[in-house]
Amino acid sequence: MKIQYTVDMEDLAAFNRDCLKNNPYIRRRKIILVAAFALLFLVIGLVEIGLGENPEGILVFEGVGTLFLLLFWFFAGRVKTKTLANMYKQDANAGVLCRHELELTTAGLVERTDVGEHRVLFQGIERVESTPTHSYLFIGTMQAHVIPHAKITEGNLAAFLEELKRRMGAVPPDSASTL
């Protein structure tokens, strides 16, 4: 069973945005950082009140601090397509920004591009996640085969993903196999 599709910079940006948004470690760090700043602003405000500072000045300081936290929460971890494009253009990336073919074999998944071939056993696929626009076959924490739904040129994505998940569940984690 095979599918073919093309990946461009928008798809890589979507992958990075989705990873940053959904990664529990990054989410936890963001919450800790915002909580630490909120506590700092609160302590500074209480100290200023204790020192008899101007209440209007304290309110302005606390308001600016709250605005900073809201902006940080909203913008932290966002990846702009242009920023990502600048990172990727340092190298040719001929095997990333191109046409891809994924094939399910008896032992695993084979990815083919114009410049090479990559094989991974079913045990090496950590998880499969989908958004309304993309599916990701994770082979590492921040590494995945990015499949843009709108750019599939051959094959049935739903059937492919269903069969992949079935085969992933049918393979014991400690079994050794070759492609």
Range of the domain at 26: 21-79
96 and 9 belong to one structural domain: yes
Q: Do 56 and 92 fall into the same domain?
A: no
pTM reported for the whole predicted model: 0.71
Give me the chain's average pLDDT, please. Answer: 84
Q: Is residue 175 part of a domain?
A: no
**Residues 89, 159 share a domain:** yes
How many Å apart are CA 96 and CA 88, to the nearest integer? 10
**Residue 177 belongs to a domain:** no
Would 179 be classed as within a structural domain? no
For the residues 162-170, what does the mean pLDDT come to?
Answer: 91
User: 9-22 and 81-88 are packed helices; what angle lies between their axes, rounded to 10 degrees?
Assistant: 110
Location of structure tokens 């990333």: 96
Region 170-179: mean pLDDT is 53
Contacts of 123 (CB under 8 A, 6+ apart): 171, 173, 175, 177
Looking at residue 92, its pLDDT comes to: 67
Indicate if 71 and 116 belong to the same structural domain.
no
What single DSSP character describes residue 124? G
What contacts 38, CB < 8 A, 6 or more positions away?
Answer: 65, 69
Distance separating alpha carbons of residues 63 and 15, to the nearest angstrom: 35
Q: In this structure, what DSSP letter does residue 97 have?
A: S
Structure tokens at 98: 């191109």
Q: What is the mean pLDDT of residues 115-124?
A: 94
User: In this predicted model, what pLDDT tens digit does every residue of 46-93 receive, in sequence order?
Assistant: 887 778 777 787 778 888 888 888 888 777 666 666 777 777 675 667
- Looking at the structure, tell me whether residues 67 and 88 fall in a common domain: no
- What's the rounded Cα separation, in Å, for the pair 126 and 100? 20
pLDDT digits (tens, 9 = 90+) for 136-157: 999 988 899 999 999 999 999 9
Domain count, the chain: 2
Same domain, 73 and 111: no
Quick one: pLDDT band at residue 178, thresholds 50, 70, 90?
very low
Alpha helices in the chain (DSSP H): 9-22, 24-50, 55-75, 81-88, 157-170
The answer as to whether 109 is a domain residue is yes
Residues 122 and 151 in one domain: yes
Residues 100 and 11: their CA atoms lie apart, in Å, by 13
Same-domain pairing of 94 and 108 = yes
Name the more confident of 102 and 178: 102
Q: In angstroms, rounded to a whole number, what is the distance separating the alpha carbons of residues 176 and 5?
A: 30
